[in-house]
């Protein structure tokens, strides 16, 4: 299944969650090494939208509020590295909007 091309990817989620150094569940380290940081966060959004979102989404589970999907793929990063990631998306029942939730490194090489 393909997710909508206009899926919501929140600037705040990228800047203040994924690219912010955190004591627990930090994702900024591996993203920084690939060339993504808070000053070029738009590049990460652009790359997720153009390189990951067009790939097939896999249904994961359903909860009372909507359905959760994952997309696994690789980003061609600003540092010319391949970054294997899994992204999580949520299709909300009440609004029928598709929203980006998070990403994390894929264990596959």
**CATH for the 11-105 domain, from 2.60.40, 3.40.1350, 3.10.290, 3.10.450:** 3.10.450
- Domain range summary for the chain, segments of one domain joined by +: 11-105
Position 25 scores a pLDDT of: 82
The pLDDT value given to residue 24 = 84
Confidence (pLDDT) at 43: 98
Closest CA to 1 of 69, 101, 51: 69
Distances (CA, A) of 96 to 61, 67, 90, 91, 93: 16, 10, 10, 6, 5
What is the mean pLDDT, run by run of 10 residues, along the chain of 109 residues? 96 96 89 96 98 98 98 95 96 97 85
pLDDT score for 23: 86
């Amino acid at each position: 299944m393909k997710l909508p091309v206009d899926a919501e990817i929140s600037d705040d989620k990228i800047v203040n969650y994924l690219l912010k150094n955190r004591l627990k569940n930090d994702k900024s380290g591996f993203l920084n090494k690939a060339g993504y940081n808070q000053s070029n966060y738009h590049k990460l959004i652009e790359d997720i939208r153009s390189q990951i979102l067009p790939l097939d989404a896999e249904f994961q589970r359903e909860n009372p509020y909507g359905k959760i999907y994952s997309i696994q793929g690789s980003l061609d990063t600003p540092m010319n590295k391949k970054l294997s990631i899994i992204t999580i998306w949520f299709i909300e029942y009440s609004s029928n909007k598709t929203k980006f939730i998070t990403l994390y490194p894929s264990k596959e090489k």
